Each structure stands twice: as C-alpha cells, then as structure tokens.
Amino acid sequence: MKHLILGGARSGKSGYAQQLAEHTKQEVIYVATATAGDEEMRLRIQKHQQQRPAHWQLIEEQIHLADRLLHLDAVNRVILVDCLTLWLSNLLGQNNQQLLNAECEKLFGVIPGLQSTLIMVSNEVGQGIVPMNELARRFVDEAGWLHQRLAGMCDKVTFMVAGLPQPIK
C-alpha cells in the first residue's frame, strides 16, 4: 500500500501519518529528510522526534531517497517518509537540475515495486499566492509536479485540513 498525505503547514499531516503507521502493528522505519540548518529548524526536528514512538528506527536521508527506500524495503514493514517537500528543497539547494530530475525519476521508478507499506508526507504549497522570486516559484512548480506523479502512483491520497483527514483517493 502506498499512501500520500498532503496538507499545509500545521495541518496535522505528520501526526496522522504516524497514527496510520502505528496502527499497522508492523515494524516502522521513519525516514527524515530535514536538515537542521538553523536553530528554528533544529527545534522543529526535536519536536518531531519527541512525538514519534521511541521504538521506531530513524533514518536520515536528504538527497538519495529512492536508493534508501530500496535498501529499507521489506515485507511487513512500514516506511514513513517525512517530508517530501523538505527532500525537494534539499535537491533544489544542490543547484543541479540533472540531479533533481534523476532523483525524482528514481523515486517514481522505485515506488511501484516496494513491498513495504509506504506513507509519504508532503506540504501542499500550490494553494497560496504566486511567489515573488524565481526559486520560490520553481519550488511550487516542482512540488506540484511531484505530487501529481505520486498521487497517480499511490493507492491512497489524503489531504489534511485543520487536523482532519480528507480522503482524495
């Protein structure tokens, strides 16, 4: 089963994903994509760590997500990726379009064959105003394309609003 969970900031995405993973009663591996580039982000990461069950295995992967998923894949396992937009930001920060395209294509190629239950969390950023700078507009575009492709591949897609899951697919 592949499940994409989208929503805005503080919509309840991560908490909902964690509930789904916990309810499977399977081994859970949490793949974190964030980097603690500043104090505020370090505190956000720390809060997420405190909200996760201590028995979950934590893997940090900022760039090569598809390779990591292949390595972690197993029957009776849940892989929870939180979050795809931070992963995308990491790729955009490399300032290498070929790397970004290659890593996204690898992800699209790997997902259908995974035996693990895959739960992916991502921020829906395309519902606000058009950003003023080129990089921000590119980020919104890349995230939108990523979400469209993933939504087509997933068994379930949920949009979170005010902590309430809205089934989309």
Active site residues: 48
- Distances from the Cα of 143 to the Cαs of 19, 87, 148, in angstroms? 24, 10, 9
Q: Which candidate, 42, 49, 35, places its Cα nearest to that of 92?
A: 35
- Distances from the Cα of 3 to the Cαs of 9, 36, 143, 150, 155, in angstroms? 19, 26, 17, 9, 6
Answer whether 88's CB lies under 8 Å from 125's CB: no
Query: Residue 105 CB: number of other CB atoms within 10 A?
Result: 12
First to last CA, the chain: 13
Alpha-helical segments (H) within 12-96: 13-23, 39-51, 65-72, 84-93
